[in-house]
Structure formats: C-alpha cells, structure tokens
Homo-oligomer: A and B are copies of this chain.
C-alpha cells in the first residue's frame, strides 16, 4: 500500500473516531450513581463493556464476552444522530418504534460509512446483530444494557423511575423480562432490591 493510500485510510479511520466523540454529548434519562448529573451515552457504553467483563459468569452457553464487549462499545453510536430514546418515555411507546428504528438505520449508514468498507461493514453488522437481539451474544448484551440503568436508579434513589412515574409492573415488563431473557441470575438479584422503590 502506498503512503498516499495509507494516509487516506487513516484519515477515514480518524474521521470516524472524531465523529464518535459526539456520543459524549448525548445525554440519557439515567443519572450517575450519585445523582449529580445525567449520564452520557459514551461513558454509559464504557460502563456496559465493564459490566460484560465483570459479569461474564452470568452469560449463557455459547456467549463470547469479547464479541459482547465489541457490540456494547458500538451499540449507541447511532444516537449521535437520533439521540437517546428513554425506555420509559412516551409511556414506554417511543423506544423501538418504527420511526426510531428507521432513523437509527440511516444513522448507522452514515456513521459506519465514514470508515473504510473492510472495517465499517463488519462493525455495522455487529450493530445490526445487537439490534436484532436474537444471537446469544446480542441477547446477553441487551440484558446488560437494560440492567445497568436499574443499578444506577437504585444507587441514586429512584432516578428515571421518579421522573417518568414508572410502576413496578412497568419495570418488570419493560426491563425485567429482557434482563431475565439473557441473564436470569442478574434479574433475580435486582428484583429483590426493588421493594423500597415500588412499595406494593
């Protein structure tokens, strides 16, 4: 490969990495554990990758933790264009709507398209696998993505549950079922700690 081609290739790689920096400015409904400010989607993605590393023993058979980590590093990049759609917003109807899905697909096209094709195509495929939530790796990754905000809410004293007026039944339906699908042991542990927030 000539110097010129190497140069162009690296310029594309850095254009993507500089673009990714914008994810640090996308704010989520969840706060840090101390409640001091909203969490951003960049630091959230880091925290989730650390969840995968530390909670690997909760994954089902056939899960590759390294693939899960790669997925989690990428999973929110489309929010650079679309923003974060909180799971409890619009009474739980906005997250995963057809409109949001179409916008996220267009964002993936643009953002992964900044990379040389041999790098961008497999990364985009990994994001699509996460979105489809069918492979063992994606199901486990989704479980972690759902359980982390629960931990942050418990630590901060209620967090986005209070902001969105969420009931225990809604947490069970929107969050619990998906955590339990990929990591049943995690949901057992977490459910035991919800009592103080949703007296019923």
A interface residues, Cβ below 8 angstroms from B: 6-7, 10-11, 13-14, 16-18, 20-22, 24-25, 32-34, 36, 39-40, 42-43, 45-47, 49-51, 53-55, 57-58, 66, 69-70, 73-74, 115, 119, 123, 151-152, 155, 185-186, 189
Could you say which residues of chain B place their CB within 8 Å of the CB of A70?
53, 66, 69
Taking a contact as CB atoms under 8 Å apart, the answer to whether B33 and A21 are in contact is: yes
Q: Is the interface of A mostly helix, strand, loop or mixed?
A: helix
Q: How far is the CA of A17 from the CA of B20 in the complex (A)?
A: 24
Taking a contact as CB atoms under 8 Å apart, the answer to whether B151 and A18 are in contact is: yes
Taking the full assembly, how many copies of this chain does it contain? 2
Give the distance to chain B from A5, nearest Cβ to Cβ, in Å: 12
Q: How far is the CA of A192 from the CA of B130 in the complex (A)?
A: 38
Q: How far is the CA of A69 from the CA of B50 in the complex (A)?
A: 10
Q: How far is the CA of A24 from the CA of B7 in the complex (A)?
A: 34
Taking a contact as CB atoms under 8 Å apart, the answer to whether B18 and A33 are in contact is: yes
Q: With A47-B20, A53-B70, A123-B53 as given contacts, are A185 and B6 in contact (CB-CB < 8 Å)?
A: yes
Q: With A25-B36, A189-B10 as given contacts, are A17 and B54 in contact (CB-CB < 8 Å)?
A: yes
Taking a contact as CB atoms under 8 Å apart, the answer to whether A49 and B25 are in contact is: no
Taking a contact as CB atoms under 8 Å apart, the answer to whether B54 and A10 are in contact is: no
Taking a contact as CB atoms under 8 Å apart, the answer to whether B43 and A32 are in contact is: no
Could you say which residues of chain B place their CB within 8 Å of the CB of A151?
14, 17-18
